[in-house]
Amino acid sequence: MYKIDILERTLHFKQPAGTSRGVYTTRHSYYLTLTSDELPGVEGVGECATLPDLSCDAKPEYEMTFRQVCQMVEQMGRIPYDMIRAYPSITFGLETAFASFFDAAKKQNLSVSVPAGMENLTDLFDSPFGRGEEGITINGLVWMGTYEEMLARLEEKLQAGFHCVKLKIGAIDFFKELDLIKRIRDVYTQEQVELRVDANGGFLPENAMSQLEALAKYDIHSIEQPIKQHQWPKMAQLCRETPLPIALDEELIGVNVRSMKEALLDTIHPQYIILKPFMLAKKKDEKFGEIAVLLSEDKGIKKVEATIRRLLSDHKYWIPREFLHVDHLPLTETGKPKRSILL
């Protein structure tokens, strides 16, 4: 029988995290530790947390639902996927706990009974990254702030050795943000520093195209969510006419039914999609990488960015191994991956 212990914590940002939706100063998280009477000394760790005004499951009843679901898992011995589809962060935290539990048992050469429908959670750590043999290149994120603050943060990222930098834009004067980007390009070519921007829906539909055209002059890799979500026709027009590749982010959050996901992609035809497992719903037996490939297959999407940033208490990231190396993806007849996974 499984047992779940819950540790509640409020995390404080070292500096305010500004987005076009507001400023985050704290993050409330629930850490769960999974153990079993049958395997003493083996435990798995997961984290369940939402982002207010962004996560689809950031609801007043979240804590009550979370604790009730944990009790159900203890009684049932498995994750009730269908019942918690509307709570992707809870699904993700539980999967993380079970995945690390199975891995811990394997390292101790102990056999463990895997609940039906959860076989995809085994061996997720069996990869060069999971074994600590290789790292993963990530971008340096520059949060919104004043011009001076963003410039200082940018220079800090570049000095730290980042070759890909993502700027949060849409909060201060757009022309000041353009000036900041111009200063980067005056010093660094696109081969030296890859620039991405994230508007978090901060552009108005009537101004978005002219802003995209202005950004495109500076060799920007892509822009995330230029306008607010739930404006499919307007977003589709932007994706058709944009001089700058567009990635959907918030647009995908809360779209929990497969047919609706397909309708969204068929309508908008974005160049990229951003996948955040703790915000996107999945069914049992599905691997997140498989969802990415299935959703992007035949949709004209160039690449898929997997943003998997849930840090466990033992300082290891839980990353489905199909995201770690391109050669883990299904191959076409030419021997090349069907989709590139961009981290």
The catalytic residues are 168, 276
- Scanning 223-312, the segments in alpha helix (DSSP H) are 232-241, 258-268, 288-296
Amino acid at 279: M
Buried b (16+ CB within 10 A) or exposed e, 67-85: eebbeebeeeebbebeebe
Helices H, strands E: what count in the chain? Answer: 8, 11
Q: Which residues contact 122 (CB under 8 A, 6 or more apart)?
A: 99, 102, 106, 114
Q: DSSP H helical segments within the chain, as ranges?
A: 62-76, 88-107, 147-159, 174-187, 205-216, 232-241, 258-268, 288-296
Centre a 10 Å sphere on the Cβ of residue 100 and count the other Cβ atoms it contains: 24
The alpha carbon of residue 296 and the mean position of all alpha carbons in its chain are separated, in whole angstroms, by 16
DSSP 323: G
CA separation, residue 284 to residues 174, 192, 255, 288 (Å): 43, 42, 17, 10
Q: Which two tokens stand for residue 330?
A: 């299904």
Separation of alpha carbons 185 and 220, rounded Å = 10
- What is the three-class DSSP state of 146? coil
Could you give the CA distance from residue 97 to residue 90 in angstroms, rounded to a whole number?
A: 11
